[in-house]
Amino acid sequence: MSRIGKKPIPLPGGVKVQIGEQMEVSGPKGKLMVPIPAGITIEQVDSRLEVKRASDEHAALHGLTRALAANAVQGVSAGFTRELDIVGIGYRADVKGKIATFNLGYSHPIEVLLPDAVDMKIDKQTHLVLTCHDRQLLGQVAANIRALRKPDPYKNKGIRYTGESLRKKVGKTGAGGK
């Protein structure tokens, strides 16, 4: 039995839900759509949502649908944040409007156009804070930014998630020969 699927989703004040072919969640931060697969039903009871399935064949989709619905409710009410750190001498970032410019040791600066829903703040040119109401979009944008210069295991330079632990590798030693 799905333990995640059984948990009810509390609805905070200011969040409105419309259930049809797909669930539409709207709140102070924005509006999101959650697909409802066949065999899964979502019911609003008082100030909470309950996700139910028709049979055990839909067990995998039960927990998934509940998780997507819970993320949508949390996103439109509180939002999500993702933090990244830029490590390296001369590596820095700047944001003007929806265009983020990164200097990452290449011969040219890299410009990234941020989606309308994603906001970026930069502290001390090396700490990025991304905020958005859509968790999936936020994670994808953060992954795309990290991919511009992945953390190097030898020098530990690059863009990494805040709190991400890296395994530093030992470089070559000078003892060569036969």
Tell me how far apart the alpha carbons of residues 128 and 43 are, in angstroms, rounded to a whole number. 39
Tell me what percent of the residues of the chain surpass a pLDDT of 70.
96
Taking residue 108's Cβ as centre, other Cβ atoms within 10 Å add up to 7
In this structure, the answer to whether residues 65 and 94 fall within a common structural domain is no
Which candidate, 122, 117, 145, places its Cα nearest to that of 133? 117
Instruction: List, for residues 122-175, the tens digit of each pLDDT value.
Output: 888 889 899 999 899 999 999 999 898 888 888 888 888 888 777 888 877 766
Half-sphere exposure of 46 (CA within 13 A, CB side): 4
Q: Give me 71's structure tokens.
A: 């993320």
Instruction: List, for residues 7-22, the tens digit of each pLDDT value.
Output: 888 888 888 888 888 8
* Model pLDDT, residue 178: 56
In this structure, the answer to whether residues 145 and 111 fall within a common structural domain is yes
| pLDDT above 60 for 31 | yes
Tell me how far apart the alpha carbons of residues 170 and 156 are, in angstroms, rounded to a whole number. 11
Q: Of 42, 77, 112, which residue sits at a domain end?
A: 77
CATH number (domain holding residue 102):
3.90.930.12
Tell me how far apart the alpha carbons of residues 58 and 64 are, in angstroms, rounded to a whole number. 10
| pLDDT above 70 for 118 | yes
* Model pLDDT, residue 87: 87
Instruction: List, for residues 61-96, the tens digit of each pLDDT value.
Output: 888 888 998 998 888 888 899 999 998 888 889 999
In this structure, the answer to whether residues 68 and 87 fall within a common structural domain is no
| pLDDT above 80 for 176 | no
* Model pLDDT, residue 47: 87
Q: Please answer whether residues 58 and 40 qualify as being in contact, where contact means their C-beta atoms are separated by less than 8 angstroms.
A: yes
Q: Is residue 34 part of a domain?
A: yes
Q: Give me 83's structure tokens.
A: 């933090």
Q: Is residue 173 part of a domain?
A: no
Tell me how far apart the alpha carbons of residues 110 and 93 are, in angstroms, rounded to a whole number. 9
Chain position carrying tokens 């410009």: 111
- C-alpha torsion sign, points 151, 156, 158, 163: positive
Structural domain range at position 72: 3-77
* Model pLDDT, residue 81: 92
In this structure, the answer to whether residues 31 and 85 fall within a common structural domain is no
Q: Is residue 22 part of a domain?
A: yes
In this structure, the answer to whether residues 64 and 23 fall within a common structural domain is yes
| pLDDT above 60 for 1 | no
* Model pLDDT, residue 123: 87
Q: Of 77, 101, 121, which residue sits at a domain end?
A: 77
Q: Is residue 45 part of a domain?
A: yes
Looking at the structure of the chain, the number of domains it has is 2
* Model pLDDT, residue 174: 64
Q: Of 53, 77, 101, which residue sits at a domain end?
A: 77
